[in-house]
Structure 1
Amino acid sequence: MLLQFVSYNLIGLLNTLIHWIIFLILLKFYGFSQAASNIAAFAFAVTFSYFANAAFTFKSRMRVGRYALFIAILGGLAAATGAISERYDLPPLVTLVVFSSVSLAVGFITSKFLVFGAEK
């Protein structure tokens, strides 16, 4: 499980980079709200994360239903984080750091036991 967690974290670093870049582009250059920027950036990053973790971390087959479950759980977290940040007028950096931190733990547990662990 430790090797899986390390692999998940390495992929997570790339995932975070993708997420942050897209979030900031949408927020600063296209005028999206924090919630919309976070959800859109999440959609790109989570797709990369799902396929990379299926192939390298959990060595699992990719399935549409499990991909949808992964997106539903983490997408809800992305939307909630963005909405809370807007509600309390928090800076975008807070949105990114909070979401990235919380989604690391929630994403690993979800992936390990629900998304990829369910087939073993």
Structure 2
Amino acid sequence: MIRGIRGATTVKNNDADEIIQVTREMIEAMASENDIDPETIASVMISVTPDLNATFPAKALRLIDGWKYVPVMCMPEINVPGSLPKCIRVMMTVNTSKNQKEIEHIYLNDAIKLRPDLIEENK
């Protein structure tokens, strides 16, 4: 079955190295917490808020062993007034036998504000 795994994180600065570093941390946590092998990934979509344009966060995936052929795309997030700034969001679609409730969605840094219900549920 194909399932979606959500992830989100934030950076302090619009800096290429920081964007790649925190994106990699989030992607690796998503894979680790959900026992994901890159061969089971259908695709990864990454959105960024309008205040982040120093680099493509998708570059982080190319630094992870075995992820060379994982399809990935970056796009802008909707610019909603009052939304969380400097945020990187991920939707990873994977083939898994886990049910929806077993999926561990990953929210790091200030992005934990986005889904506190999921953070508390997974503790």
TM-score by length of 1: 0.36
- Larger fraction in strand: 2
TM-score by length of 2: 0.35
- Larger fraction in helix: 1
